[in-house]
């Protein structure tokens, strides 16, 4: 089983390079992209004792049209 430290060494650099190719900014395992209308976040959380990891993804609108939701549509 791979340790958390080894996982970080093997994954952080290639993950960062790939994320930057797609317009993301960040370091290590946390990257963010501002598309103008949305904020997109991607992160990897290595398991505490190695052997596993979790990935997280978030897409958040930068503005919400209050009138659209007030009308109930």
Query: Rounded to an integer, what is the distance from CA 43 to the centroid of its chain?
Result: 3
Residue 73: pLDDT band (50, 70, 90) is low
Mean pLDDT of the 35-64 span: 88
Residue 10 parent element (H or E): helix 4-21
- What pLDDT is stored for residue 69 in this prediction? 66
Residues in the chain: 73
pTM: 0.74
Domain residues for 39?
A: 4-70
Number of domains the chain contains: 1
Burial of residue 4 (number of CB atoms within 10 Å: 0-12, 13-18, 19+):
middle
């Amino acid at each position: 089983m791979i340790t958390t430290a080894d996982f970080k060494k093997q994954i952080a650099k290639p993950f960062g390079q790939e994320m930057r190719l797609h317009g993301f900014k960040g370091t290590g395992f946390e990257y963010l992209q501002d598309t103008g209308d949305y904020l997109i976040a991607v992160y990897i959380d290595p398991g505490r004792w190695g052997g596993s990891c979790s990935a997280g993804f978030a897409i958040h609108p930068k503005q919400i049209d209050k009138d659209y939701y007030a009308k109930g549509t």
